[in-house]
Structure 1
Amino acid sequence: MSISRESADAYWKENVRIILSYLVVWFVVSYGCGILFVEQLNSIPFFGFELGFWFAQQGSIFVFCGLIVAYAISMNNLDEKYDVHE
């Protein structure tokens, strides 16, 4: 199966946009919520813990796992859109 140059460029551009958007979410949650905004988040109780502590210890891991699933779904949809799926 062959894909045109224009289609391949559009596919790659969307692929990079998806990757960058998920990386921004990952950075904001892990660095922002776990380090930068921890003092503000600690004023919010969450299941008996301070929210900033929870994000630093477990929340960012849960978000990261969710991002892996979301990325796989996004890439499957992108592959089908450009007809390069398996």
Structure 2
Amino acid sequence: MDNSKAYWNATLGLLGRILVVWFVVSFGAGILFAEALNNIKLGGYPLGFWFAHQGSIYIFIALIFYYGKKMGEIDRQFDVHED
């Protein structure tokens, strides 16, 4: 039973880190820090605008792949993998 608790803690730790990145990118870069980021141009557009409309989508997709990779590692570490 102790191994399942460690597995659950590792899973929740990963989810917590991913949610923090998600929050900082979506709320922080798109809303809170938009004015400061708008002083930087990316492809001719203000960076705050870019994050609010396209950049956060790229980050979210990267988070999905990161989650899949790290969960696979956690599953193998606790011997609950599928292959």
- Structure 2: gaps (5+ residues): none
Percent of aligned positions with the same letter in both sequences?
50
CA deviation map 1:34-58 (0-9, x unaligned): 0000000000011111000000000
1:7 aligns with 3
Give RMSD over aligned pairs: 0.4
Instruction: Count residues with an aligned counterpart.
Output: 82
Give the Cα separation in 1 of the matches to 2:19 and 2:49: 21
- Note if 1:21 corresponds to 2:32: no
> Matches of 1:61 and 1:84 in 2, distance apart?
31
Cα deviations by residue, 1:17-71 (Å, 9 ceiling, x for unpaired) = 0001000000000100000000000000111110000000000111000000000
Question: For residues 11 and 52 of structure 1, what CA distance do their matches in structure 2 show?
Answer: 38
TM-score by length of 2: 0.98
Matches within 5 A, 1:5-84: 5-84=1-80
- Superposition TM-score, scaled by structure 1 size: 0.94
CA distance in 2, matches of 1:14, 1:47: 39
Structure 1 runs of 4+ aligned residues shifted over 3 Å read none
